[in-house]
Amino acid sequence: MMLSFVVRSQTFTPDMDKYPIDSLKGFNESEIRERLKFNNVVGLELENHIKQLKRDYINQKFFTVRRKDEESK
């Protein structure tokens, strides 16, 4: 029973024309990649770090949410 729910939910695709906002506009990924590679962040660590930075960027841009480790600053 639970399997059918998972299969149906995975095939759902929202109508992206209703949301024309580019949530990562202003996020300079190529510059960030260069800076991280210069600091010897490579491979899977690089990809995961970029994903985290993108989430943080979107949260700050739309929700003004800070990560717990940033709250003390």
Task: Tell me the Ramachandran region of residue 43: left when phi exceeds 0, alpha when psi lies from -120 to 50, beta otherwise.
Answer: left
Amino acid at 36: L
Which residues in the chain show pLDDT less than 70?
Answer: 1-20, 65-67, 70-73
19 within some domain: no
Q: Give how many domains the chain has, as a whole number.
A: 1
6 within some domain: no
Full residue range of the structural domain in which residue 46 is found: 27-64
55 within some domain: yes
d(CA 19, CA 14): 9
Whole-number pLDDT of residue 59: 86
7 within some domain: no
4 within some domain: no
Whole-number pLDDT of residue 1: 45
51 within some domain: yes
34 within some domain: yes
Contacts with 29 (C-beta within 8 Å, 6 or more apart), sequence order = 50, 54
Task: Tell me the Ramachandran region of residue 22: left when phi exceeds 0, alpha when psi lies from -120 to 50, beta otherwise.
Answer: beta
37 within some domain: yes
